[in-house]
């Protein structure tokens, strides 16, 4: 088969076009392709191998990782072929989310603190040590938390709110269930947490004064919102300049029974969704990463998103 036909055959597949477009401005590893596209490792490697065989990409090794980049045009290749391929890739339905995820991954690549934390977290889980637990580690971190004013949006009965109130200056817990708010308030009084206040309201329009808190937390709450984008905008409204939002939620999944079992409105979110909503709300210094993966089916994954007002 001629080089021309090999290239045309390689460019005829939408997935290969998608991968090729991601290499337009920078090189990527297979793991980074996975984080961006959510495709399987073997599928990505197969397509990259076909693109490499066609002379459209080339690779280099760096330690245990292989990075792929666009190959320089070969002699005799039609000048407009690659540009037409890129144009076609931009018309794919995944193009918008891929662009957002590519931006996020390139930012994370340069965030050495995040890389180091992931490495430490991995070691922490692998080896047993007497007295070493995430519970104890969490209490240690809670002790060094500054005295912030915090809004816990979609708080439920207030488990997170109670923990934060141990060190925060003030915690406002917002939930849309009158019974849960009453239960949480009674429990806060019983535990002597005078700085924890429960308020009845919707996380999409929380009853919290604009610019009044330092930290807005949405812990496993956003997938219950009718309009997640509006909830993120409301979090931005109540924050002081320089305040932070922290969103802990499920990564998009295919466990369709979650709606029946847990009352979920959304089946989790893609990182690109969270990135887009945070940007639209005016947040900066956005960081998004998967922080937990369950070993048992349906293998839920938890994503943490942060942004600064």
Residue 112 burial (10 A CB sphere; 0-12, 13-18, 19+):
exposed
DSSP string for 166-205? TT-SEEEEEES-HHHHHHHHHHHHHTT-TTEEEEE-BTTB
pLDDT 10s digits, 92-143: 999 999 998 898 888 877 665 555 566 555 556 566 667 667 677 777 878 8
pLDDT of residue 161: 94
Give the separation between CA 153 and CA 161, rounded to whole angstroms: 10
Q: What is the mean pLDDT of residues 223-227?
A: 94
- Identify the band that residue 243 occupies on the pLDDT scale cut at 50, 70 and 90: very high
Helix or strand holding residue 288 (H, E): strand 284-293
Q: Which domains does the chain have, with CATH numbers?
A: 3-109 (1.10.10.10), 145-308 (3.40.50.150)
pLDDT of residue 223: 95
pLDDT 10s digits, 175-200: 999 999 999 999 999 999 999 999 99
Give the separation between CA 175 and CA 150, rounded to whole angstroms: 14
Q: What is the mean pLDDT of residues 263-268?
A: 90
pLDDT of residue 230: 97
pLDDT of residue 76: 53
Residue 246 has pLDDT above 90, yes or no: yes
pLDDT of residue 292: 87
Mean pLDDT of the chain: 87
Q: What is the mean pLDDT of residues 22-50?
A: 91
pLDDT 10s digits, 141-156: 788 888 999 999 999 9
Q: Which of 278, 134, 285, 306 is nearest to 217 (CA)?
A: 306
pLDDT of residue 262: 83
């Amino acid at each position: 088969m001629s080089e021309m036909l090999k290239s045309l055959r390689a460019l005829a597949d939408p997935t290969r076009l998608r991968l090729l477009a991601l290499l337009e401005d920078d090189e990527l590893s297979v793991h980074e392709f996975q984080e961006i596209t959510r495709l399987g490792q073997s599928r990505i490697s197969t397509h990259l191998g076909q693109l490499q065989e066609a002379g459209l990409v080339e690779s280099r090794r760096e330690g245990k990782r292989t990075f792929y980049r666009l190959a320089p045009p070969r002699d005799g290749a039609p000048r407009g072929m690659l540009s037409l391929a890129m144009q076609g890739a931009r018309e794919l339905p995944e193009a918008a989310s891929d662009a957002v995820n590519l931006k996020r991954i390139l930012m994370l690549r340069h965030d050495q603190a995040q890389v180091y934390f992931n490495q430490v977290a991995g070691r922490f889980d692998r080896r047993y040590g007497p007295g070493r637990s995430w519970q104890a580690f969490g209490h240690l971190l809670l002790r060094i938390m500054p005295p912030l004013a915090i809004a816990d949006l979609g708080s439920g009965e207030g488990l997170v709110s109670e923990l934060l109130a141990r060190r925060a200056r003030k915690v406002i817990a917002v939930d849309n269930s009158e019974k849960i708010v009453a239960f949480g308030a009674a429990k806060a009084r019983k535990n002597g947490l005078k700085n924890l206040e429960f308020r009845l309201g919707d996380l999409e329009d929380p009853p919290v004064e604009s610019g009044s808190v330092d930290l807005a937390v949405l812990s496993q709450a956003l997938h219950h919102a009718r309009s997640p984008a509006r909830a993120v905008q409301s979090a931005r409204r109540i924050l002081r300049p320089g305040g932070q939002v922290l969103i802990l939620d499920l990564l998009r999944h295919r466990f369709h029974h979650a709606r029946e079992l847990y009352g979920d409105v959304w089946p989790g979110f893609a990182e690109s969704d969270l990135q887009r909503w945070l940007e639209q709300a005016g947040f900066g210094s956005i960081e998004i990463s998967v922080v937990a993966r369950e070993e048992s089916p349906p293998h839920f994954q938890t994503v943490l998103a942060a942004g600064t007002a």
